[in-house]
Every structure is written in C-alpha cells, then in structure tokens.
Amino acid sequence: MAGAIRRLTVLHSDGRRRCAWCGTDPLYMAYHDQEWGVPVHNERKLFEMLCLEGAQAGLSWITVLRKRDGYRAAFANFDPKILASWSQQRLNALLQDPGIVRNRLKIAAVRTNARAYLDLRAAGSSLDELLWQHAPPQRRNRPRGPSAIPATTPASDALSKTLKAHGFKFVGSTICYALMQAVGIVDDHQLGCWRA
C-alpha cells in the first residue's frame, strides 16, 4: 500500500507528498496547500473564483493563477457593483491588458456574471447558497490518482444548469467541477497527499 501511495503523489523537497497535478512550481504548491479544497463562503471570493475558473476554459489553471493579481487589478478586485456598470468601451480596453487572458468573450462574461450576481442578491439569494446547495455527499474514499478524479459529475451538471438559468456565463459542467474543487465544495486531495 505504501508503494502505491508513493506513485499517486509527488514527494517535494520540503518532505511533503502532494497531489500529482500540482507539480513543483512554488505558486502551484502554495495554491494546493493553502486554497484548493478549502471551504469558501465569502461572497467576493466565490465570485472571483467563478470568474477565474471561467477564464481558465481551454487553458491550464497555472496560466490563470500566474495572472491572478493582474485579474484583480484589471477587474476592480472583482467588485460586482463596479463591474456590472462597465461600458463596452471599458471591456474593449482590457483586450490590451497583458496581465489577463485577452479573450473578448471571457472578458465580457465577467460583466455578465457581475450583473447575474447582483440579480441573485436582489432576489434575496446569495452565490454562497446557490453553490453550496449543489455539494454532493462526501467521498467515502480518497481519489487514488488523477485518473480517479472526474472532469464532471451529476452535481457539477446541476450547478452548471442552475448558474446558466440565473444568467451566468462560462459555467459549463467542467468549469463548475473545477470551481467546486477550488472552493472546497468537493475535496479531491489524493490518497497520500498531506492535505488529505
């Protein structure tokens, strides 16, 4: 069993075993250790992560993670009230910002999502409530490697459908599952990982 665990995780220079996906990049390791799989209920943080996971679509997470500070600067620290009022001209200017992924649809989705978020709040609900109501039952066993972690689940399918019904964009099931992992709705730390 110990040999199998060694193959499922990566031993790093600090003596800790981590999920195989996090590699050896210090930024990725810190994200793995301090954020990934940790339950989040802060509305602003949830909104930020929803937008960043949407920005990741078609890219690796490390690409967006390296640009996270650029995103925070470009998108008013993900303040939905500010973002919802932005003009098309303001969005177009962001296409010149090297600190973010310069994709017209992804940039526009941040404003759309800010408006959907504010509509959700005006209706008496919260993003926290909406996301966490889709939490699946906790796993009985830890994933035994990256291949045991799904890209989508029935819970992420349902979350995607709910978010789309509320007007959110870039919230397909794969993005939703990544979001669920990122904010601790699911905990996919692998068997043998020190965070498991």
Contact partners, residue 19, CB within 8 Å, separation at least 6: 9, 10, 32, 146, 188, 189, 190, 193, 195
Work out the angle between the directed axes of helices 43-56 and 104-122 (0-180°, nearest 10).
150
Q: Is 61 a catalytic residue?
A: yes
Q: Is 86 a catalytic residue?
A: no
Question: From the CB of residue 123, how many other CB atoms can be counted at a distance below 10 Å?
Answer: 9
The catalytic residue among 28, 36, 48, 53 is 53
The catalytic residue among 61, 71, 132, 177 is 61
The catalytic residue among 21, 31, 35, 194 is 31
Query: Cα separation of 92 and 21, whole Å?
Result: 34
Q: Is 53 a catalytic residue?
A: yes
Q: Kindly state the tokens that stand for 185.
A: 């709705």
Query: Cα separation of 67 and 114, whole Å?
Result: 20
Catalytically active residues are: 31, 53, 61
